[in-house]
Structure 1
Amino acid sequence: MSLQPVFIGGQWRTSRYLSTFQANNPRTGEKLPDLFPVSTWEELAEALDYAQQVIPLLTALPPEARAEFLENMASKIEAKQEIITATAALETGLPQSPRFLEIELPRTTDQLRQTAAAVREGSWCLATIDTHRNIRSKYGPLGGVVIVIGPNNFPLAFNAVSGGDFAAALAAGNPVLAKAHPLHPKTSQLLAQAMAEALAESQLPPATVQFIYHFQPEDGSKAIAHPATAAVAFTGSRATGLAIKEAAEKAGKLAYLEMSSINPVFLLPGALQERASKIAEEFTASCLLGSGQFCTNPGLVVLSEGAGSKDFIQRAIDLFNNSSPGYLLSREIGLNLEKKIQALLQRGSQLLCGGHSLPEPGYRFAPTLLQVKAQAFHEQPTAFQQEMFGPASLLVVCPKAEDMLMIAASLEGNLTASLYAHTQGKDESLYQQLEPILRLKVGRLLNDKMPTGVAVSPAMMHGGPFPATGHPGFSSVGVPATILRFAARHGYDNVPQHRLPPELMDKNPTGRLWRFIDGAWTQASVNEK
Structure 2
Amino acid sequence: MTTHPVLIAGRWREAAASGRFSPDNPATRSRIDQHYPISDWSDCDEALDAAVIAARQLRQLPAEQRARFLERFADKIDAAKVELAELANRETALPKTPRLAEVELPRTTGQLRQAAAAARTGSWAQPTIDTALNIRSQLAPVGPVVVFGPNNFPLAFNGIAGGDFAAAIAAGNPVIAKGHPAHPGTCQRLAELALAAQIETGLPAATVQLIYATARENGLRLVSDIRVGASAFTGSRSAGLALKQAADEAGKPIYLELSSVNPVVILPGALAERGKEIAREFADSCLMGTGQFCTNPGLVILPAGEEAEWFIARVAELFSRAPAGTLLGAGVESGLAAAIATLCGAGAKRVTGTGMADDSRYSLPNALLRTSGEQFLQHSRRLQTEAFGNAALVVVSADSEQTRAIIECLEGNLTGTIYSHSRRDDEAEYSLLEPILRDRVGRLLNDKMPTGVAVSPAMNHGGPYPASGHAGFTAVGIPASLRRFAKLECYDNVREQRLPPLLRNQNPDDGWRLIDGSWSQRSIL
TM class by shorter chain equals: over 0.9
Matched, 1:197 2:196: yes
> Counterpart of 1:343 in structure 2: which amino acid?
T
Could you say which residue in structure 1 is the equivalent of 2:463?
Answer: 464
Could you say which residue in structure 1 is the equivalent of 2:283?
Answer: 284
Matched, 1:485 2:484: yes
The Cα shift of 1:227 comes to: 2.0
Could you say which residue in structure 1 is the equivalent of 2:397?
Answer: 398
What TM-score, normalized to structure 1? 0.98
The Cα shift of 1:244 comes to: 0.6
The Cα shift of 1:355 comes to: 4.6
Matches within 5 A, 1:489-500: 489-500=488-499
* In 2, Cα distance between equivalents of 1:357 and 1:98: 28
Matches within 5 A, 1:364-375: 364-375=363-374
Could you say which residue in structure 1 is the equivalent of 2:384?
Answer: 385
Q: What's the RMSD between the two structures over aligned residues?
A: 0.9
Aligned residue for 2:213, secondary structure, equals coil
Q: Classify 1:230/1:302 alpha carbon distance in 2 versus 1 (closer, same or farther; 3 Å).
A: same
- Measured against aligned partners, the alpha-carbon deviations of 1:39-74 in whole angstroms (never above 9, x if no partner) come to 011111111111112222111001011000000000
Are the counterparts in 1 of residues 342 and 385 from structure 2 also a CA contact under 8 Å? no
Matched, 1:522 2:520: yes
The Cα shift of 1:377 comes to: 0.8
What TM-score, normalized to structure 2? 0.99
Aligned residue for 1:381, secondary structure, equals coil
Aligned residue for 1:67, secondary structure, equals helix
The Cα shift of 1:225 comes to: 2.3
- Measured against aligned partners, the alpha-carbon deviations of 1:1-38 in whole angstroms (never above 9, x if no partner) come to 33111111101111121111111111111111110000
Could you say which residue in structure 2 is the equivalent of 1:453?
Answer: 452
Aligned residue for 1:321, secondary structure, equals helix
Are the counterparts in 2 of residues 150 and 160 from structure 1 also a CA contact under 8 Å? yes
Q: Which moved more, 1:31-40 or 1:352-361?
A: 352-361
* In 2, Cα distance between equivalents of 1:331 and 1:16: 27
Are the counterparts in 2 of residues 334 and 357 from structure 1 also a CA contact under 8 Å? no
* In 2, Cα distance between equivalents of 1:433 and 1:526: 50
- Measured against aligned partners, the alpha-carbon deviations of 1:218-244 in whole angstroms (never above 9, x if no partner) come to 011111222211111000000001001
* In 1, Cα distance between equivalents of 2:337 and 2:166: 36
- Measured against aligned partners, the alpha-carbon deviations of 1:105-130 in whole angstroms (never above 9, x if no partner) come to 00000000000011011111101111
* In 2, Cα distance between equivalents of 1:261 and 1:54: 36
Structure 2, unaligned stretches of length 5 or more? none
Are the counterparts in 2 of residues 508 and 525 from structure 1 also a CA contact under 8 Å? yes
Are the counterparts in 1 of residues 175 and 208 from structure 2 also a CA contact under 8 Å? yes
- Measured against aligned partners, the alpha-carbon deviations of 1:198-229 in whole angstroms (never above 9, x if no partner) come to 01111211111111111111011111222211
Matched, 1:239 2:238: yes
* In 1, Cα distance between equivalents of 2:369 and 2:447: 22
> Counterpart of 1:522 in structure 2: which amino acid?
S
The Cα shift of 1:307 comes to: 2.3
* In 2, Cα distance between equivalents of 1:287 and 1:194: 34
* In 1, Cα distance between equivalents of 2:499 and 2:337: 59
Q: Which moved more, 1:498-507 or 1:96-105?
A: 498-507
Matched, 1:251 2:242: no
Are the counterparts in 2 of residues 273 and 307 from structure 1 also a CA contact under 8 Å? no
- Measured against aligned partners, the alpha-carbon deviations of 1:157-177 in whole angstroms (never above 9, x if no partner) come to 000000010111111111110
* In 1, Cα distance between equivalents of 2:229 and 2:58: 15
* In 2, Cα distance between equivalents of 1:356 and 1:346: 18
* In 1, Cα distance between equivalents of 2:383 and 2:407: 13
Could you say which residue in structure 1 is the equivalent of 2:272?
Answer: 273
Are the counterparts in 2 of residues 28 and 360 from structure 1 also a CA contact under 8 Å? no
> Counterpart of 1:517 in structure 2: which amino acid?
I
> Counterpart of 2:511 in structure 1: which amino acid?
L
* In 1, Cα distance between equivalents of 2:402 and 2:387: 23
- Measured against aligned partners, the alpha-carbon deviations of 1:102-155 in whole angstroms (never above 9, x if no partner) come to 00000000000000011011111101111111111111111x211100000000
Matches within 5 A, 1:322-341: 322-341=321-340
Aligned residue for 2:31, secondary structure, equals coil
Matches within 5 A, 1:284-363: 284-355=283-354, 358-363=357-362
The Cα shift of 1:358 comes to: 1.1
- Measured against aligned partners, the alpha-carbon deviations of 1:371-394 in whole angstroms (never above 9, x if no partner) come to 011001111211111100010000
- Measured against aligned partners, the alpha-carbon deviations of 1:238-257 in whole angstroms (never above 9, x if no partner) come to 00010011000011100000
Could you say which residue in structure 2 is the equivalent of 1:63?
Answer: 63
- Measured against aligned partners, the alpha-carbon deviations of 1:493-522 in whole angstroms (never above 9, x if no partner) come to 111211111111111112x21011111111
The Cα shift of 1:356 comes to: 5.9
> Counterpart of 2:448 in structure 1: which amino acid?
K
Could you say which residue in structure 1 is the equivalent of 2:140?
Answer: 140
Q: Classify 1:123/1:334 alpha carbon distance in 2 versus 1 (closer, same or farther; 3 Å).
A: same
Are the counterparts in 2 of residues 338 and 356 from structure 1 also a CA contact under 8 Å? no
> Counterpart of 1:324 in structure 2: which amino acid?
P
Could you say which residue in structure 1 is the equivalent of 2:261?
Answer: 262
Are the counterparts in 1 of residues 23 and 91 from structure 2 also a CA contact under 8 Å? yes
Identical aligned pairs, as a percentage?
Answer: 50
* In 1, Cα distance between equivalents of 2:294 and 2:354: 20
Aligned pairs, number? 525
- Measured against aligned partners, the alpha-carbon deviations of 1:287-306 in whole angstroms (never above 9, x if no partner) come to 00110111111010001112
Aligned residue for 2:201, secondary structure, equals coil
Could you say which residue in structure 2 is the equivalent of 1:87?
Answer: 87
Could you say which residue in structure 1 is the equivalent of 2:121?
Answer: 121
Aligned residue for 1:525, secondary structure, equals coil
Could you say which residue in structure 1 is the equivalent of 2:28?
Answer: 28
* In 2, Cα distance between equivalents of 1:286 and 1:425: 26
Aligned residue for 2:442, secondary structure, equals strand
Could you say which residue in structure 2 is the equivalent of 1:425?
Answer: 424
Q: Which moved more, 1:85-94 or 1:223-232?
A: 223-232
Matches within 5 A, 1:10-25: 10-25=10-25
> Counterpart of 1:86 in structure 2: which amino acid?
E
Aligned residue for 1:229, secondary structure, equals coil
Q: Which moved more, 1:306-315 or 1:384-393?
A: 306-315
Aligned residue for 1:265, secondary structure, equals strand
Q: Which moved more, 1:336-345 or 1:478-487?
A: 336-345
